[in-house]
């Protein structure tokens, strides 16, 4: 039996069902079995694992996941793909498809219902590029009982997610991701292995969920607000960004005292601070904002 991902198989399936790609849904289907096999290998699935997929397309990646995992549940937003998936995934009765937008789905409820008795759950997906960040943040912030996420995303975004302090890619998203997970780019993927080919190169990133965040902060909401404020205007200093974006213009003396106490130079830019330094600042500046 030919893989779904075989270029000829893909062409035949699309032609048979008269399927046309919707640019608005970011549909780019993988047609390279080595890439698909490598993506699944990065998830370290076993025959006792459960897997969640987002945007299965015609089932190319789903098939490779199903060969390794005990149970696969895929979320597909495009109703036109449901009959195709019913046909292509027929050899894999342990793979099911939910017609739903992952951003609106109650993933906790789906896990409880679909993965009974399965303790090891991974998200494995070729994510639509236009909603990559909201999907990943939803999966991380909802504190789902998953081991991690292995996903194909735009290379530029992958570089930001795994970026280190002091690099041009490092931003508020890098810190938010790394608060919840350890991020590592595991594979670069050329645009030529997709139908249709996207305009950008891709990368596979692996996010391993942390049992505890790397730092403990008094107010998580303010911690993330402080980070966003610090990157408000990238070329500005920490001092200017915090004064302008946290409305601290009447608290300059108190803010200076915070920098003096913490030993963090207010002339630095946000991109040079580690997550630990942001944690220290968050706890010290939080009370000023609430006054």
N-terminal to C-terminal alpha carbon distance within the chain: 68
Sign of the CA dihedral running 226, 232, 234, 238 = negative
Structure tokens at 118: 């399965």
Detail the residues annotated as belonging to a binding site: 28, 30, 55, 76, 101, 126
Which residues are annotated binding-site positions for S-adenosyl-L-methionine? 28, 30, 55, 76, 101, 126
**What six digits make up the tokens of 172?**
């508020």
Alpha-carbon span 108 to 154, nearest angstrom: 27
Residue 280, H or E segment: helix 275-290
How far apart CA 58 and CA 17 sit, in angstroms, is: 11
Counts of helices then strands in the chain (DSSP H, E): 12, 9
Distance CA 14, CA 144 (A): 34
The 3-state DSSP class for residue 1 equals: coil
């Amino acid at each position: 039996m030919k893989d779904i991902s075989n270029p000829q198989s893909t062409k035949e399936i699309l032609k048979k069902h008269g399927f046309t790609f919707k640019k608005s849904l970011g549909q780019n289907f993988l047609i390279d079995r080595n890439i698909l096999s490598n993506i699944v290998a990065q998830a370290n699935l076993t025959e006792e694992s459960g897997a969640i997929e987002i945007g299965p397309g015609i089932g190319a990646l789903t098939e490779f996941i199903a060969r390794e995992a005990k149970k696969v549940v895929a979320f597909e937003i495009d109703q036109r793909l449901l009959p195709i998936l019913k046909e292509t995934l027929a050899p894999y009765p342990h793979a099911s498809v939910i017609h739903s937008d992952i951003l609106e789905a109650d993933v906790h409820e789906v896990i409880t219902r679909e993965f009974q008795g399965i303790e090891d759950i991974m998200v494995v997906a070729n994510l639509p590029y236009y909603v990559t960040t909201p999907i990943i943040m939803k999966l991380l912030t909802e504190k789902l009982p998953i081991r991690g996420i292995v996903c194909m995303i735009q290379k530029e975004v992958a570089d930001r997610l795994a970026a280190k302090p002091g690099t041009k890619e490092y931003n508020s998203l890098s810190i938010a991701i790394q608060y919840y997970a350890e991020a590592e780019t595991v594979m670069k993927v050329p645009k030529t292995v997709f139908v249709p080919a996207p305009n950008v190169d891709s990368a596979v990133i692996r996010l391993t969920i942390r049992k505890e965040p790397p730092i403990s902060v008094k107010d998580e909401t303010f911690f993330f607000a402080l980070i966003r404020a610090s990157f408000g205007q990238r070329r500005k200093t920490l001092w200017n960004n915090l004064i302008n974006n946290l409305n601290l213009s009447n608290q300059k003396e108190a803010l200076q005292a915070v920098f003096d106490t913490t030993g963090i130079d207010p002339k630095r830019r946000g991109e040079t601070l580690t997550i630990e330094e942001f944690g220290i600042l968050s706890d010290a500046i939080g009370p000023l904002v609430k006054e």
